[in-house]
Amino acid sequence: MPPIDMTITALDHTRAHPRPGLGELATTRPDLDRAERAATELLLALGMPLGQEGMRRTPARMVAAYAELLTAEPVTMTTFPAETGYADLVVVRDLPVRSVCEHHMLPFVGVAHIAYLPGARILGLSKFARTVEWFARRPQTQERLTDQIAEHLDSHLDPVGIGVVVTAEHFCMTLRGVRAAGARTITSTARGALREDPHWRDRFAAATRG
């Protein structure tokens, strides 16, 4: 049984991480002048009235918006010894997810919930939001984003167990194509005790339920 009943994607944990060539950062720094020229050309080709007052600066704003969506600050993974003997779940809910689907370059937005059962070390709480942002601000799929957050935290924190749930709306699905307005996609992955131990699996599911 998957931990969340609406899970649509069963992630295969036997796969090697990360998959090469996928979900990578931009290979070069953005060339804003070139991007602005290209955005101008794209908008003109689409018949947009760029001569109008309100659209004169649109190519530059469009480029700035994409550059922001696709640029993240690296995260320093500050961990602390788990000295108090706290031995229950740590759950961080409703972390904002703002990403761009790699197939259409349209946004997908939602929230991530992360739960982990600490091992010898704990992670500063702000680092969870930063980790989500780091992996979200690049061309992504929701499945890979979920997997990468879990993999990164698992390898830096070495917890007894960790799980990640992402719920998001994909504008490429709700604004175009099938126009499934309001449709949300839920992905989840769990490792260690949160995957293998029925008690912790249930606790993870309950703690991250919408």
Using the rule CB under 5 A, give the single segment among 60-68, 147-155, 170-178, 187-195 that binds Zn ion: 170-178
Q: Distances from the Cα of 94 to the Cαs of 22, 97, 172, 182, in angstroms? A: 26, 9, 22, 18
Instruction: Report if residue 172 touches Zn ion, rule: CB under 5 A.
Output: yes
Q: From 92, 94, 89, 188, select the one nearest 145 (Cα to Cα).
A: 188
Please give the size of the binding site for Zn ion, defined by CB under 5 A.
Answer: 4
Instruction: Report if residue 100 touches Zn ion, rule: CB under 5 A.
Output: no
Residue 177: both structure tokens together: 């194509």
Using the rule CB under 5 A, give the single segment among 34-42, 104-112, 118-126, 145-153 that binds Zn ion: 104-112
Instruction: Report if residue 101 touches Zn ion, rule: CB under 5 A.
Output: yes
Nearer to Zn ion, 104 or 184 (CB): 104
Instruction: Report if residue 104 touches Zn ion, rule: CB under 5 A.
Output: yes
Rounded to a whole number of angstroms, the minimum distance from the CB of residue 161 to Zn ion is 31
Interaction site with Zn ion (CB under 5 A)? 101, 103-104, 172
